[in-house]
Amino acid sequence: MKLYYAVLETKLGRMLATRTEKGLNNLLFHQPTWGKFFEELEERKDLELIKAEGKFATLRKQLKEYFTGKKVKFTDKLDLSSGSPFEQKVWRKMMQIPYGKTVSYKKLAQMAGEPEKARAVGNACAKNPLTIIVPCHRVIKSDGGLGGYAGGLERKKRLLNLESGKEK
């Protein structure tokens, strides 16, 4: 299997994007673990890791627009196969949260048809491989607190401010 990748520069830092033939499967803010991630990928005999900036041109353009505060409809096909069926269901429901709006983990669990699984929804958010496109930053605690965010709480706050027009 071929895995294409590129590192994209954004207003909030570098992001790693990867895609399979099925579609975009990772969009993650820079983490200290990237080196280990690439080492593990390079060890896999069933995987060919290919740097392919051109395969991410549309995504790069759409992210640039997003980070200027524009509401963007991301058009890449997505490959969500890294998640369990429950996680995939939660991620799809997350994509229905309107730009500039937030919902609680509890509300997202209800949207996913699993009202008793708010904690499991939080775990699905933490495993979200496609930040911004699958907008886990729009999911907050019932009391209005931010909750968690794999990209860091400061980024979550800035993404919410960007979408609400408080940050340009």
Q: Nearest to residue 122, comparing CAs of 134, 106, 133, 135? A: 106
Tokens, residue 120: 């499991």
Active site residue 125: no
Q: Which of 17, 94, 136, 159 is catalytic?
A: 136
Paired sense of beta strands 24-29 and 13-19, if any:
antiparallel
In angstroms, the CA 141 to CA 4 distance is 35
Residue with token string 């605690």 = 141
Gap between the Cα atoms of 96 and 71, Å rounded:
14
Q: Are 41 and 26 in contact, with CB atoms under 8 Å apart?
A: no
Point out the residues that are catalytic: 136
